[in-house]
Amino acid sequence: MRPWLVLPIFCWATAARAADVGEIAVIADPGNVLSAISIPTSTYLERAACAFYADHQDRYDAIFVYTNRTLNAFNRNQQGWPVKRAALGLGRDLWPERSERFCSPRLRHAVKMGDIGSFPDDPDARYTAVPTFTLTGVQLMAHELGHQWMAAISFLDGSGRRRCLLRGYTGGEEPGGPIGNECDGQPLSSFNLHWSYFFSTGSVMYGNELRDLGGGRFEVSSPNPKFSPLDQYLMGLRAPEEVPPLFLLETGALSPESTEFPLPAGQTEIIEGERLDFTVADIIRAEGPRDPPRDHCHWKAAFVLIHDPDQPPTAAEIARVDRYRQRFESFYAEATDRRGSFDTTLKGSGIGTPECPAVGPPILDAGIRPDASPDATTSDDAEVDDDRGSTDRGSNPAPSVDDAGPPAQQEPKVLGLEDACACRDTGGANATPGSFALLACGLWIHRRRSSTRR
């Protein structure tokens, strides 16, 4: 090859590595991202973040990662992954810091959204790629974001007994374990990170709305899942006194039925059980107060579409991701009762909403203590959320992978930024390596043109 051809080809390859199409970051797989889509979600998201931050500044609190590669039931599963612990008092006081692995001091949450082809054109249509799933496409997005804060809490009843029945019961382990690591007589790892089917929440984090008919009978419905008042307290958007009293049903023996998806919108059923009332104060007695008590209401997010180098996304695929991006901004405001807002522009230029404007610095290390280390409920490879598999009533649900992890004495792996992703200097420089490469390309082309004119 002629030497003078090398740099133009390098320039083209560098420029083609990532391209923003409107507000969507379209990234060709550098070779290690999509190959990790079937292994622990943290690895896939870390590599996706690396590829994204190679050409984008560190200005986002969350990233939503899609692909146009067609996936299957085994690797399509959507999952939300906290990069930083949101706060104390959420049942995850010892959640480890993972910023190094995601190549971003600011990023707080990463979401694997799977393949855009599995999502309906209309974000408000039901997502059907998971059998019996009842949330819409945009509600599923909110659900995965919700794992930044939920659902790992317990509460203390009037006798001081620790209760976890507000969460889905996965089971699969024998009672026993470390002292203080039991709830309702079961290991904590027997309860997943979704609200129970029998908990009256009306939440995108599952649960239903329950209407007390008297005599131990209750009407179940789920007309419009959103972020409930309890969710909003955990998110730092409400004070404890703003959360109404709570209740759930004890239906007898612990059952995997509690892990089921909410009822579809428009349907109802009648169930029987014993009402168990409690309040946020009972949660605080078990978990401690939320610290910090409030979070910034406004978040910045990036939408990323990763593709195989030889299969760039079509205009229709990019447009579908953009529809979800735009709908998520309006839905999040609605779902938080106008207490929260999202800016999904790549430049971070969104102004938020009148109730939650884009003002003030982000909380980078909310509630994180420098001496925090993982405990038995966290793991580098633990799945935060797993929404694959059928959980229809009367069937045996696919086990939900909880946050059970290594014993408390096991130290987490610590990687330097250069080892974690080798993508850029995250010390605050505005220019990325991609920017420098493109600048060099531009200067070279300018000089070539000038020389030909002489």
**β-strands 182-183, 162-163: how paired?**
unpaired
**Mean of the per-residue pLDDT values for the chain?**
79
| CA 234 centroid distance within chain | 15
What's the confidence (pLDDT) of residue 96?
A: 84
Q: Does the pLDDT of residue 389 top 70, yes or no? A: no
Quote the DSSP letter at residue 293: S
Secondary structure (DSSP) of 389-440: S---TTS-PPPPP-S--S-TTSPPP---HHHHT-----SS-S--HHHHHHHH
Q: Does the pLDDT of residue 270 top 80, yes or no? A: yes
Sign of CA dihedral 424, 429, 435, 441: negative
Contact (CB, 8 A) for 423 and 53: yes
Contact (CB, 8 A) for 356 and 341: yes
Tokens of 147: 């794992």
For the stretch 133-156, pLDDT in tens is 999 999 999 999 999 999 999 999
Secondary structure (DSSP) of 226-286: B--HHHHHHTTSS-GGGSPPEEEEE-SS--GGGGSPPPPTT-EEEEE-EEEEE-HHHHHHH
What's the confidence (pLDDT) of residue 172?
A: 62
Is 162 or 389 the better-scoring residue by pLDDT? 162
Q: Which of 137-151, 164-178, 251-265, 334-348 has the lowest mean pLDDT?
A: 164-178
CB-count burial class (<10 Å; 0-12, 13-18, 19+) for 375: buried
Expressed in percent and rounded to 5, the helix, strand and coil fractions of the chain are: 25, 20, 55
Helix (H, G, I), strand (E, B) or coil at 343: strand
Contact (CB, 8 A) for 218 and 270: yes
Task: Please tell me whether the peptide bond between 151 and the residue prior to it is cis, using omega within 30 degrees of 0.
Answer: yes
| CA 427 centroid distance within chain | 25
Q: Does the pLDDT of residue 411 top 60, yes or no? A: no
For the stretch 42-70, pLDDT in tens is 899 999 999 999 999 999 999 999 999 99
What dihedral do alpha carbons 116, 146, 195, 224 form, nearest 10°? Answer: -70
pLDDT band at 338 (very low <50, low <70, confident <90, very high): very high
Q: Which residues contact 202 (CB under 8 A, 6 or more apart)?
A: 208, 209, 222, 223, 224, 225, 226, 228
What dihedral do alpha carbons 400, 406, 411, 415 form, nearest 10°? Answer: -30
Distance CA 24, CA 102 (A): 19
For the stretch 216-229, pLDDT in tens is 999 999 999 999 99
Angle, alpha carbons 26-16-48 (nearest 5°): 45
Residue appearing with tokens 């229809």: 392
Range 166-171 average pLDDT: 91
pLDDT band at 9 (very low <50, low <70, confident <90, very high): very low
Alpha-helical regions (H) of 97-174: 99-102, 137-146
Distance CA 193, CA 186 (A): 15
Q: Which residues contact 348 (CB under 8 A, 6 or more apart)?
A: 59, 60, 300
Q: Does the pLDDT of residue 365 top 70, yes or no? A: no
For the stretch 281-309, pLDDT in tens is 999 999 999 999 999 999 999 999 999 99
Is 360 or 161 the better-scoring residue by pLDDT? 161
Sign of CA dihedral 281, 286, 287, 289: positive
Contact (CB, 8 A) for 222 and 202: yes
Q: Does the pLDDT of residue 4 top 60, yes or no? A: no
Angle between helices 433-453 and 3-17 (to 10 degrees): 140
Sign of CA dihedral 25, 31, 32, 38: positive
Q: Which helix (H) or strand (E) holds 447?
A: helix 433-453
For residue 237, give Cα distances in angstroms to 190, 264, 396: 29, 27, 36
For the stretch 175-227, pLDDT in tens is 444 445 689 888 888 999 999 999 999 999 999 999 999 999 999 999 999 99
What's the confidence (pLDDT) of residue 185?
A: 86
Helix (H, G, I), strand (E, B) or coil at 191: strand
**Cα distance between the two ends of the chain:** 26
What's the confidence (pLDDT) of residue 169?
A: 93
